[in-house]
């Protein structure tokens, strides 16, 4: 029997085109270096590959440590059905962040140097070690899914024995480097525009990462339900959305208090590019935060998804503003990414979506929805009335 060829769809054509451009851009990066494939320079050495691929990529993968802490540390078991997809998203996110670093580093073959050439006074050293260790933890946390697929009982037992310290270590490591990404910019107070520079930047990075982790879980669950024909866990996602509204409210409250304390509100009266991009970032964060306090918004799948997407865009806007917009004025130059930089970024994102879909298709990433579990338990109780009495 002949095997059917994959059906050609618009999205698959777009995916193929993105990969082709990404492969050609990779060729330019490998054979012509950073100078021949990017618009980076000595005045502006960090561009979209750091601001988006790394800073956004690490933050968007924060759903892993957020859900692990919720389910296993705070013992809120009702969110367990969305835990595995969050861990997979985080694992892929950190893996692709490493891939993005291979493009950005002038000598990618020296990526391993921080692991053996220690410099404990460097924030980059701490970030490198935390990302490496947390990626390993995420891999171990995802191992039970692989073992369940192939029926490997012994390895699963070993992982379960170390699961509690493993999860605590994962949350600790993620907490450290999510905030440390903000610490990186504390060394450039004269170069980062005052709307974004703050001595509490590590705290802002950490709180926003918690919020975007929840938003990413909603985003991923919505798309997975459509891609795999699964029922959307709306009550669970609505609960996450309520927590998301609170977290983002705290984030905005800290942000505005900080601006007031530093007397930076006056900068908003200036007609500058930084002002408008700051207002866009705040609007993308504040509007969904207000909307998610309303139960009717949280219980409508389309509205819930739209709010999650706005939070994600607000987060991305913040990281791009910190990593690019806020540094342009201080550097005395203007940075516009070359097409090859954008092509590589898009190809990394598209590859992440494709790998997630493939793994979710062949491995038991999704657990039974909570309403199905309750129905099974009710049927078992009806079939065995003795156990109930």
d(CA 375, CA 369): 10
Considering only 87-96, 224-233, 294-303, which range has the smallest mean pLDDT?
224-233
- Buried b / exposed e across 306-320, counting CB within 10 Å, b at 16+? bbbbbbbbbbbbbbb
Calculate mean pLDDT across residues 156-178. 80
Q: Please tell me whether the overall predicted TM-score, pTM, comes out greater than 0.85 for this model.
A: yes
Q: 48-336, what's its fold?
A: Formate dehydrogenase/DMSO reductase fold (1.20.1630)
Q: Residue 195: helix, strand or coil by DSSP?
A: coil
pLDDT confidence bin for 4, thresholds 50/70/90: low
d(CA 389, CA 382): 11
Q: Residue 102: helix, strand or coil by DSSP?
A: helix
Q: Are 194 and 321 in contact (CB under 8 A)?
A: no
Q: What's residue 131's pLDDT?
A: 84
Q: Residue 93: helix, strand or coil by DSSP?
A: helix
Which tens digits make up the pLDDT trace of 316-326? Answer: 999 999 999 99
Calculate mean pLDDT across residues 33-62. 90
Residue of 373 and 190 predicted with greater confidence: 190
pLDDT confidence bin for 3, thresholds 50/70/90: low
Domain ranges, ordered by start, for the chain: 48-336
Neighbour count for residue 148 (Cβ, 10 Å)? 14
Q: Assess whether pLDDT exceeds 70 at residue 248.
A: yes
Q: What's residue 79's pLDDT?
A: 83
Joined tokens for residue 191: 């170069």
Report the share of the chain in percent with pLDDT over 70: 93
């Amino acid at each position: 029997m002949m095997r059917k060829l994959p059906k050609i769809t618009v999205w698959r054509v777009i995916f193929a085109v993105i990969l082709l451009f990404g492969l050609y851009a990779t060729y330019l990066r490998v054979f012509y270096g950073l100078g021949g494939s990017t618009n980076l320079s000595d005045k502006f050495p960090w561009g979209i590959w750091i601001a988006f691929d790394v800073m956004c990529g690490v933050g968007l993968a924060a759903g892993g440590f957020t859900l692990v802490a919720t389910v296993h540390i705070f013992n809120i078991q009702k969110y367990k059905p969305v835990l595995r997809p969050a861990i997979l998203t985080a694992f892929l996110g950190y893996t692709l962040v490493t891939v993005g670093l291979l493009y950005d580093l002038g000598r990618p073959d020296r990526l391993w140097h921080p692991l053996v050439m220690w410099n404990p006074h460097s924030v980059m050293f701490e970030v490198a070690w935390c990302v490496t260790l947390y990626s390993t933890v995420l891999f171990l946390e995802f191992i039970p899914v692989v073992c369940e697929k192939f029926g490997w009982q012994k390895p699963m037992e070993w992982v379960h024995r170390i699961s509690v310290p493993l999860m605590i270590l994962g949350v600790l490591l993620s907490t450290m480097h999510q905030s440390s990404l903000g610490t990186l910019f504390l060394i450039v107070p004269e170069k980062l525009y005052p709307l974004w520079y703050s001595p509490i930047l590590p705290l802002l990075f950490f709180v926003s990462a918690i919020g975007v982790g929840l938003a990413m879980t909603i985003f991923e669950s919505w798309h997975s339900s459509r891609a795999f024909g699964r029922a959307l866990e709306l009550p669970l996602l609505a609960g996450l959305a309520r927590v998301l509204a609170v977290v983002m409210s705290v984030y905005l409250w800290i942000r505005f208090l900080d601006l007031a304390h530093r007397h930076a509100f006056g900068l908003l009266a200036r007609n500058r590019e930084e002002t408008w991009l700051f207002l866009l970032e705040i609007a993308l964060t504040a509007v969904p935060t207000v909307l998610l306090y309303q139960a009717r918004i949280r219980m409508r799948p389309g509205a819930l998804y739209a709010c999650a997407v706005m939070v994600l865009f607000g987060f991305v806007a913040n990281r791009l503003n910190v990593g690019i917009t806020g540094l342009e004025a201080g550097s005395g130059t203007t940075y516009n990414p070359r097409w090859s930089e954008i092509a590589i970024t898009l190809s990394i994102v598209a590859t992440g979506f494709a790998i997630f879909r493939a793994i979710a298709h062949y491995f038991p990433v999704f657990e039974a929805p909570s309403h199905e579990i309750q129905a099974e338990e009710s049927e078992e109780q009806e079939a065995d009335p003795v156990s109930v009495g």
